[in-house]
Amino acid sequence: MYHTELNCFGDDIVILAGLDDMESASDDEEKTYIFFWFDSDVSDCSIGKFKTTDTREEVIQSLINWLEQQKEENKGKNIEDGFDNGICHYTELPISFQSGWVSY
């Protein structure tokens, strides 16, 4: 078991997670998701829980669309250490990276 410390990234952390009802829900049943967004300068923080009948693929694509929109809005911004530069790019992490205790 290891301890994941998300502060190694130094900027925004966005996590989308499906809850346990994902496996047992049929295609037309609501599935529950948790959305978590944290920024180290705490200017962009949000946590939410939502239900949808959208497929897993549609929910993921919606998140990707939002991230791409953020990238477009922040295009050409100067990247500065210790300053909120917005979301300029993103990387999907493997689920195994988030094992054990997760902290910032």
Strands 102-103, 31-38: parallel, antiparallel or unpaired by DSSP? unpaired
pLDDT in tens, 37-50: 887 777 778 899 99
Helices (H), 25-55: none
Contact at 8 Å (CB) between 3 and 16? no
Distance between CA 61 and CA 76 in Å, rounded? 24
Its domain, for residue 60, covers: 4-103
Query: Is residue 1 over pLDDT 60?
Result: no
Q: Where are the beta strands (DSSP E) in the chain?
A: 4-5, 13-18, 31-38, 46-52, 102-103
DSSP 22: H
- How many residues are given for the chain? 104
pLDDT in tens, 49-89: 999 999 889 999 999 999 999 888 888 777 666 666 677 77
- Please state the domain count of the chain: 1
